[in-house]
Chains A and B, each alone.
Chain A
Amino acid sequence: MNLVEKILARASGRSTVEPGEIVIAKVDRLIMHDLSGYLTAEVFDKRVNAPIPDPERAIMVFDHHFSPPTEQQANVLQRNREWARKHGITLFDCGNGNLHHAVVRHGLIKPGMIVVGSDSHTPVHGTLGALAVALGNDSHAGTVLPYGKAWFKVPETVRVQLDGTPQPGVSPRDIALWLVGRIGEGELNYRAVEFAGSYVRGLSFWDRWLFPLLCVDLGAKCSFVEPDEVTEAFVRTLPGADNDLLVHGDGEDAATVLRFDVGEASVQVACPPTVGNVKPVDEVAGTPVQWAELGGHGGGRLEDFRVAASILNGRRVHPDVRFNLVPSSREVFAEAVREGIVLALHEAGATWFPPSTGSNQAYNMGALAAGEAMISTHARNFPGRNGSPEASMYLASSATVAASAVAGSISGGKS
């Protein structure tokens, strides 16, 4: 059995499971954000209203808002808060970071756990060797909260084998975007996607993170990286570090193996209107941008700000560009302050925002006017997601975003 199958077998009290079987498994964590918690609450209060055993296993992080701009949005947050407090659900209020980074930083996700959540990028926790899937609010309210369980159809596994050496200047984010283009959106529906190969093994934890993050755009149910010494060392840096639930797969071949030589990838940009519309940066270089942003589940890491600081060293943000910096967690912001990155990038003309999902869906910031364009490290670029449907959203690596912020137009960073 592979990692996903072993976790599901253990959590459902079976010795083995096979792809296609439906099992009822114990869930270790339910993670929700401010746009989903209150909807789960509504279903739960109206139709379930049972005691919640182990309510602290349910976690809510306010990340789409950091400082609500309207009374209506404030009331939504208040509804979330009241419900969390009433039941003893673990709550991280505004400013703690985006959901997925905050729960990892607080040591709440461990290898081998089953994690469910309402955010579509929940599978990112497969980076830790957890089985993480996105469910709906009804499932959370109906089975996860009162029984601590959910049903799962055991997914078939596809291994994405990444070997080779990237070309100079090609970052893990470029390779992740390139893969979406190569494999195709929705091509791996309901599969478990394992990221493997010498390239993946050589990446740090936070660079590996970018791969399970994208699996939802391939249509996958979940994703994982087989835990190794990098995973275990990372877990030891977390509060309450333990690897008690750690599971390793048996190493047998997946039903399907997709092999890629990462040396073939160039610097990539996902262009409107979908994440899969990926092009080499040269094809869109020179496109004017008015906004650039480092943030979101894939882009507010310390690594991203360090890259931006090295690119902006001695340079300034272009006068026609507003460059937003959104740390993925309070811990990242504090560390960036200590390293002097906050001051350096601020003085280069960028603006820092509270740890959150930043401009994601423009709940608190990031609405664009018709004709404006933003280049960012966010995960999605659908039209109308950020203000006007006539605005354009481009997705790229932190280096490309920072270089474009300096140039005032999409730039491959060669300059």
Chain B
Amino acid sequence: MTAKTFAQKAIEQASGVPDLVPGQIVDAYPDLYMSHTASWRCIRTLEKMGVDKLYDVDRVAMVMDHLSPAMTAKTASDHSLCRSFARRMGIKNFFDVNAGIAHIVLMENGLIRPGQFVIGTDSHSTIYGALGAFGTGVGFSEITAAWVTGKLWVKVPESVRIEIDGELGSGIYAKDIMLKLIGDLGADGLTYCSVEFTGSYVESMSVSERMTFCNLAMEMGAKNAFVAPDEITFAYLDEAGAPREELKVLLPDEGAEYRSTVRLDGATLSPQIAVPHTVDNVLPVGDVAGTKLDQVFIGSCANAKYDDLVIAADVLSGHKVAQDVRLIVTPASAKIMAQASASGVLATLIEAGAMITNPGCGACAGNGGAMADGEVTLSTANRNFQGRMGSYDSKIFLSSPATAAASAIRGVITDPREIEAVVA
């Protein structure tokens, strides 16, 4: 029997077809179908087709995370349609406008588990690999089809290993590693590949950091991403309500075939930044230090988890946001808001001058925190395409929460290592 990659095993399990090879196309039965605010599109399609029975409502997860809460009557009625559909169908995993970002909410609630095959109407569904699941983004038509038929065709991807070793210096984080990789490999560097992260640094990472990794793998074109579940994963899942005895972990075999292996020594890294207008346009922060900012956004499924807010608060503690700069902090979920509120992180951020918004996608795609003509934002999100956050004539830079916080203090792009820690 040949050694298999994670992707081979996950798709074999979801399709029931043995001995798959890259390039092969099979029908797979996803364990979960995630759809966000635009689920109304799927519902309208079902109405048109006259379909009123779903394959398995317990595999449907719907989260009202974009455009939340509604600022137009149209969006309000879209949300309302999703709510009434969920109620009518008996969809238990419906999360309303106050829950937070879909990816984070599903993981916090124990709905994402190792070995699962998960599809979602969001390209960053690769994030589910942080818990050892196969997560991939699909369109609304595919989700609609999966709701009804329970299955979706999938082409078995080739796999690539990314091995990160070494210790990171102070002021350097998981986001910096990913930006460096995206810059080096390019936005289409790993198109349709299953990316398996390994190495001593990856093994030491928190689940939060693993989420940042798997989320951003999308920006190299990955089909899915994967970090092998370990004790760190199991501790997180246990808290999320997915006890270890219920888990069915899939691990790649020793000797499985990879298209390539990429290696990076974390110790060689400095803080990185993606500059306009693509995610793979990456430079050391120092190269653009001093660039004047209008807005700093700490949010998104890439970097607004509790650990990210702690990193930002540690930098901001005892400092004030520069005059003429708006610092928007959008916790990724209601649970994270509670943690930050209980631990004092929220108080530190407010004291420094941050504006805390309701949990959700927030400004990431310009639905809130939209930019005017000529404005410049530094964001901890995962995309900086021209016009994504409002005006086509505005600029988005992407960085770690530490670089974002340091830059908010100075009002210009700043290497976080330059900000002195103030002991409260």
Which residues does A use to contact B, with CB under 8 Å?
66-71, 73-75, 77-78, 93-95, 322, 324, 330, 333-334, 337-338, 342-343, 346-347, 349, 351-355, 362-372, 387-388, 391
Report the Cα distance A402→B69, complex, angstroms: 19
Can you name the residue of chain B whose Cβ is closest to the Cβ of A62?
Answer: B326
Q: Check B341–A342 contact: CB distance below 8 A.
A: yes
Partner among B356, B370, B374 whose Cβ is within 8 Å of the Cβ of A69: B370
- Report if B424 contacts A (CB, 8 A): no
Chain A to chain B contacts (Cβ below 8 Å), 24 pairs? A66-B355, A69-B67, A69-B367, A70-B390, A71-B372, A73-B370, A74-B375, A74-B390, A75-B373, A78-B372, A93-B326, A322-B69, A322-B96, A333-B350, A342-B341, A352-B337, A352-B356, A353-B357, A366-B69, A366-B70, A367-B70, A370-B73, A370-B77, A387-B73
Question: Is there a chain A Cβ closer than 8 Å to B198's Cβ?
Answer: no
* Residues B341 and A343 in contact, CB atoms below 8 Å apart: yes
The answer to whether A68 and B73 touch (CB under 8 A), given A337-B346, A369-B80, is no
Stretch of B8-16, B273-281, B300-308, B358-366 that contacts chain A: B358-366
Asked if B97 lies at the interface with its beta carbon under 8 angstroms from chain A, I say yes
B residues 49-100 near A (Cβ < 8 Å) are 67, 69-73, 75-77, 79-80, 96-98
Residues on B with C-beta less than 8 A from A369 are 70, 73, 76-77, 79-80
Beyond known contacts A71-B371, A352-B356, A367-B73: 7 more, CB 8 A cutoff: A67-B362, A333-B350, A337-B346, A342-B346, A353-B357, A367-B71, A369-B79
Distance of A343 Cα from B372 Cα, bound (Å): 34
Contact B358 A366 (CB under 8 A): no
Contact yes or no, B368 A69, CB < 8 A: yes
With both beta carbons as reference points, the residue of chain B lying nearest to A368 in the complex is identified as: B76
A334 touches B76 (CB 8 A): no
Q: When chains A and B are docked, how far (Å) is the Cα of A349 from the Cα of B334?
A: 9
Interface assignment of B391: CB less than 8 Å from any CB of chain A: yes
**B359: chain A residues within 8 A (beta carbon):** 351
Decide: A324 and B69 in contact? CB cutoff 8 A.
yes
B351 within 8 A of A: yes
Complex CA gap A382/B253 in Å reads 65
Tell yes or no: B26 within 8 A of A by CB. no
Q: In the bound complex, what is the Cα–Cα distance between A354 and B96 (angstroms)?
A: 19
Decide if B342 is an interface residue (CB 8 Å cutoff).
yes
Q: How far is the CB of A372 from chain B (nearest CB, A)?
A: 7
What's the nearest-Cβ distance from chain B to residue A375, in Å? 15
> Which chain B residues lie closer than 8 Å to A353 at the CB level?
357-358
Q: How far is the CA of A75 from the CA of B97 in the complex (A)?
A: 26
**Known interface pairs A66-B355, A67-B369, A322-B69. Does A372 touch B80 (Cβ–Cβ under 8 Å)?**
yes
Task: Name the contact of B391 in the complex, choosing from A74, A333, A334, A367 (C-beta under 8 A).
Answer: A74
Please give, as numbers and ranges, the residues of chain B lying within 8 Å of A69 by CB-CB distance.
67, 71, 366-368, 370
CA distance A21 to B71 in the complex (A): 45
Would you call B347 an interface residue if the criterion is a C-beta within 8 Å of the partner chain's C-beta atoms?
yes
Partner of B369, one of A68, A367, A387: A68
Cα of A362 to Cα of B75 in the assembled complex, Å: 12
A391 to B76, CA, bound (A): 11
B141 to chain A, nearest CB (A): 25
With A346-B341, A351-B98 given, is the CB distance from A77 to B372 under 8 Å? yes
Distance of A351 Cα from B341 Cα, bound (Å): 12
B105 at the interface (CB under 8 A from A): no
Contact with A along B24-35 (1 / 0, CB 8 A): 000000000000
Question: CB of B338 within 8 A of chain A?
Answer: yes
> Chain B contacts of A73 at CB under 8 A?
370
Q: Which residues of chain B are near A93, meaning CB under 8 Å?
A: 326
Q: What chain A residues lie within 8 Å of B367 (beta carbons)? A: 69
Contacts of A349 in B (CB 8 A): 98
How far apart sit A138 and B195, CA to CA, in the bound complex (Å)? 62
Minimum CB–CB distance for A339 against chain B, Å = 11
A42 to chain B, nearest CB (A): 16
Contacts of B79 in A (CB 8 A): 369
* B42 at the binding interface (Cβ < 8 Å): no
Known: A337-B346, A367-B71. A354 touches B76 (CB 8 A): no
Contact status of A365 and B370, CB under 8 A, knowing A67-B363, A343-B341? no
Distance in angstroms between the alpha carbons of A355 and B374 in the assembled complex:
26
- Chain B residues with Cβ below 8 Å from A355 are 355
Contact B370 A346 (CB under 8 A): no
The smallest beta-carbon distance between B318 and chain A, in angstroms, is 16
Would you call B80 and A67 a contact (CB within 8 A)?
Answer: no
Chain B residues contacting A66 (CB-CB under 8 Å) are 355, 357
Within the assembled complex, what's the spacing in Å between the Cα atoms of A330 and B347?
11
Residue B328 interfacial (CB < 8 Å) = yes
Q: How far, in Å, is B259 (CB) from chain A's closest CB? A: 41
* A74 to B394 Cα, complex, angstroms: 11
Q: How far is the CA of A283 from the CA of B66 in the complex (A)?
A: 37
Residues from chain A with a CB closer than 8 A to the CB of B375 are: 74, 78
Closest 5 CB pairs of A and B: A95-B355, A78-B372, A387-B73, A369-B80, A67-B368
B 146-186 binary contact with A (CB < 8 Å = 1; else 0): 00000000000000000000000000000000000000000
Partner of B337 from the list A71, A324, A330, A346 (CB cut-off 8 Å) is A346
> Do A387 and B346 touch across chains, with their CB atoms under 8 A apart?
no
Q: Which residues of A contact B97 (CB under 8 A)?
A: 322
Please tell me if the beta carbons of B76 and A352 are within 8 angstroms of each other in the complex. Answer: no
Bound state CA distance, A330 and B354, in angstroms? 10
**Contact residues, B325-352 vs A (CB, 8 A):** 326, 328, 334, 337-338, 341-342, 346-347, 350-351
Residues of chain B within 8 A of A346, CB atoms compared: 334, 337-338, 341
Q: In whole angstroms, what is the CA distance A330 to B373 when docked?
A: 27
Kindly report which residue of chain A lies nearest to residue B327, judged by CB atoms: A95
Query: A69 vs B75: C-alpha distance in the bound complex, in angstroms?
Result: 12
B346 adjacent to A366 (CB under 8 Å): no
User: Considering residues A322, A330, A338, A370, which has the most beta carbons from chain B within 10 angstroms of its beta carbon?
Assistant: A322
Chain A residues positioned under 8 Å from B334 (CB to CB): 346, 351
- Please measure, in the bound complex, the distance between the C-alpha atom of A93 and the C-alpha atom of B362, giving whole angstroms: 18
A330 to chain B: closest residue by CB: B350
Contact present for B373 and A372 (CB under 8 Å): no
Docked-complex contact B69 and A75, CB < 8 angstroms: no
A94 to B80, CA, bound (A): 28
CA distance A191 to B290 in the complex (A): 56
Distance (whole angstroms) from the CB of B223 to the closest CB of chain A: 32
Distance between Cα atoms of A343 and B334 in the complex (Å): 11
| Contacting pair A387 B70 (CB below 8 A) | yes
Are B391 and A68 in contact, CB atoms less than 8 angstroms apart?
no
- A184–B326 alpha-carbon span in the complex (Å): 43
Which of A73, A351, A370 lies at the interface centre, i.e. has the most chain B CB atoms within 10 A of its CB? A351
- Chain A residue numbers with a CB within 8 Å of B351 are 334
Which residue, of A71, A324, A368, has the highest number of chain B Cβ atoms within 10 A?
A: A71
B341 contacts A337, C-beta separation under 8 Å: yes
In chain B, positions 184-214 with a C-beta closer than 8 Å to chain A are none
A402 CB → nearest B CB, Å: 16
Kindly identify which residue among A74, A338, A342, A362 contacts B371, using a CB–CB cutoff of 8 Å: A74
